[in-house]
A = this chain, B = another copy of it.
Amino acid sequence: MIKKIAVIGAGSWGTALAVSLSGKGHSVKIWDINNEHLQELKDHRENIRFLPEVKFPDGIEISFTIEEAISGAGIVLFSAPAQHFRSAFDGAIPYLKSEMVLVNVAKGIEQKSLMRLSEIAFEKLPDAKYVVLSGPSHAEEVGRAMPTTVVSAAKDLELAEYIQDVFMSDRLRVYTNTDVAGVEFGGALKNIIALGAGISDGMGYGDNAKAALMTRGITEIARLGTKLGASASTFSGLTGIGDLIVTCTSMHSRNRRCGIMIGEGVKPSEATKKVGMVVEGMYTTEAAYQLAQKVGIEMPITEQIYHVINEKIDAREAVKSLMTRQKKHETEDVFQR
């Protein structure tokens, strides 16, 4: 069952998946909007910028036009950053055929529109065979064939199972799920809690505080997600709490590193500058805060982080406010069903 796969976007995650797929015998073509970067991939047979020390197997080709990459492919994998998904998708549309399966591995909520990425895709191509691949998966580890699990999610279970078969190996275990909204919300909103976990660490708080933040954090993410059509069970899974665990406990996470600086007393605007790259959680916090207000959902942790990163309150005040809220029953809402 050898497939032809186009990978659109040669960051660390797209590259790691290309290597993994090629290792299973699939034929993979990589394209990226940056021509110079593509030339480097071709010259070095390695992504020295974003996934160093992982050599490309022979089955990986570099394409210098998106048309060439997509032409003849059975599967088109989108691995552009979330805020660039719309333009990457627009660029691909002229070459897509209705039988091609589209897989998106980006995680985020689009700014301003507050749309999930699948909503953007279906708005443009209502009949797209669209799959989201998500889960606790640092690219650095997948590129090195370290054991990893992910979820293939599509409204149509058979489609999710098709991608499960294509990607699964004895190093990459793939589960299926039909809750596309839940998988997308989990992957995007975890970055809010990663910022918060960093802030907690930066303030010198311990493992107890961070575990509380993660557990109550996924609870409020689930509360928003279920209100917007997701299934609560998804947030207890690999793309929910699983991905949150990986993000909050790793120094790979830019969101967490940014949070640590804020917790140490650096101004949020300064901390973002110092990280030097996009801190997705800053956008996601704003998006979630707006969504929660819009649909009338209580998200106390998100709200406090929103006020901290907008320099309205100090991190210590935020913690005090969270610890002294009205007393609660643990499962009064979302998981109680």
Contacts and interface: CB of A to CB of B under 8 A. Distances in A.
Contact of A242 (B161, B211, B250): B211
Nearest to A178: B329
Contacts of A211: 136, 238, 242-243, 245-246
Interface in A10-26: none
Contact of A236 (B177, B241, B252, B324): B241
Interface of A: 135-138, 140-142, 146-149, 151, 157, 161, 164-165, 168, 170-171, 173-177, 179, 205-212, 214-216, 218-219, 231-238, 241-243, 245-246, 249-250, 252, 319-320, 322-325, 327-331, 335-337
Given A147-B323, A151-B330, A329-B175, A245 B215 contact: yes
A176 B210 CA distance: 20
Given A208-B149, A330-B176, A232 B323 contact: no
Contact of A319 (B147, B237, B322): B147
Given A141-B208, A149-B208, A237-B330, 7 more contacts: A135-B212, A207-B252, A214-B242, A231-B336, A233-B331, A233-B336, A237-B331
Contacts of A336: 231, 233
Nearest to A137: B208
Nearest to A161: B327
Contacts of A236: 215, 218-219, 235-236, 241, 335
A335 B241 contact: no
Number of copies of this chain that the complex holds: 2
A142, A219, A335: residue with the most chain B Cβ atoms closer than 10 Å: A335
Given A175-B329, A323-B147, A337-B337, A238 B212 contact: yes
A216 B331 contact: no
Contacts of A141: 206-209
Contact of A146 (B137, B206, B214, B328): B206
A207 B323 contact: no
A225 to B, nearest CB: 13
A250 to B, nearest CB: 5
A168 B142 CA distance: 43
Contacts of A165: 327
Contacts of A209: 141, 146-148
A149 B212 contact: yes
10 contacts: A149-B215, A161-B327, A173-B322, A179-B331, A212-B242, A215-B237, A215-B238, A231-B331, A233-B337, A236-B236
